[in-house]
Amino acid sequence: MICVSKLTAAVVVALAASSAFADAFPSKPIRLVVPFPAGGTTDNLGRLLATRLSEKLGQSVVVDNRGGAGGNIGADLVAKAPADGYTLLFGTVGTSSINPSLYKKLPFDPHKDFTPVAPFASVPNILVVNPKVPARTVSELIAYSKRQPETLNMGSAGSGTTNHLTGEMFKSMTGASMTHVPYKGSGPAMADLLGNQIQLMFDNLPGSLPHVKSGALRALAVTGASRSPALPDVPTMAEAGVTGYVADVWFGVIAPKNLPPEILSKLSTEITQISREKATIDKLSGQGATPLSSSPAEFTQRIQSDTEKWAKIVRSSGASVD
């Protein structure tokens, strides 16, 4: 029979060790895996968070770009990493809530193999075209695509990404004719859009914002429920005539499953505080993004509800991968 005093002492020691573990974290650099190449919106927002998180934690938060397969390569790397808080995923609605419906087989379970930590920001997508495209409104683009079938190439950050799916959603709702051209990230796609190798893109707003402001790209509509403060003159897709079209993209930090509660709490608290800082809000606003913050439980619920929402959109649009 175990002595009560010894059992109590063991519990106290365990609690003390757990507390010390949390207090010591982090004791070495943290790797933040961005599942897309450098230069796109996911990378830009991830680096913004990594810089401030490094300052708050007193350890380097190193961005590791692992693009490919619609974000699945980077997500798989994190799913198989130790659950110690030192390898984190800067996930998106695509990697967590859209890919489960698009891919018949994934090397990980999008829900069971991860611990949602904290959301960071959301952005609408924006329909942008190269200025050489003879369309200044959404209705003109739709009409042009029907007059000139197969002349419009629509770039994306990869098959199954939000760039791709929001474009497929647009095609299914309008009957527009365009050919999808997948890239390994938004950066390479943007380079070809600027060079007119492709003609349009449903890009995350931060990635296209400087090009729209410089005149290098023409913005036709944003995909959110309301206009973006960063581009107040650009209509929503609904205002442009595509009734019922609404799509936002969120970004947040996700860890491997079974992350210790103490580490989860510490990371969630720090990220939430960062997202609420005025300096962060100003930087996000300048990129056309809106800060997000919630508890891990609320973040988990958002991922689950978005999975159900996007599954319906995937089915109705007919979009698929593999």
Q: What is the CATH number of the domain that holds 128?
A: 3.40.190.10
CA distances from 132 to 61, 136, 179, 270 (A): 41, 10, 17, 45
Q: What is the CATH number of the domain that holds 275?
A: 3.40.190.150
Report if residue 17 sits inside a domain: no
Residues 195 and 118 both lie in one domain: no
Give the span between the Cα atoms of 184 and 59, in whole angstroms: 30
Report if residue 228 sits inside a domain: no
Q: Is pLDDT of 1 > 60?
A: no
Confidence band of 5 (pLDDT split at 50, 70, 90): low
Bridge-based pairing of strands 61-65 and 114-129 is unpaired
Report if residue 200 sits inside a domain: yes
Residues 144 and 195 both lie in one domain: yes
Report if residue 281 sits inside a domain: yes
* Domains in the chain, number: 2
pLDDT digits (tens, 9 = 90+) for 81-120: 999 999 999 999 999 999 999 888 999 999 899 999 999 9
Residues 194 and 163 both lie in one domain: yes
With left for phi above 0 and alpha for psi between -120 and 50, is residue 252 left, alpha or beta?
beta
Q: Is pLDDT of 305 > 70?
A: yes
Give the span between the Cα atoms of 141 and 14, in whole angstroms: 64
What one-letter code names the amino acid at 262? E
Residues 263 and 307 both lie in one domain: yes
Report if residue 116 sits inside a domain: yes
Residues 81 and 112 both lie in one domain: yes
Report if residue 16 sits inside a domain: no
Report if residue 114 sits inside a domain: yes
How far the first Cα of the chain sits from its last, in Å, is: 59
Determine if the pTM surpasses 0.95: no
Residues 310 and 258 both lie in one domain: yes
- In this prediction, residues 147-161 reach a mean pLDDT of 89
Determine the structural domain holding residue 152 and report its residue range. Answer: 124-222
Residues 129 and 186 both lie in one domain: yes
Residues 108 and 256 both lie in one domain: yes
Residues 112 and 147 both lie in one domain: no
What pLDDT score was predicted for residue 296?
98
Residues 105 and 165 both lie in one domain: no
Which residue among 204, 222, 240 closes a domain? 222
Using a pLDDT cut of 70, give the percent of the chain over it.
93
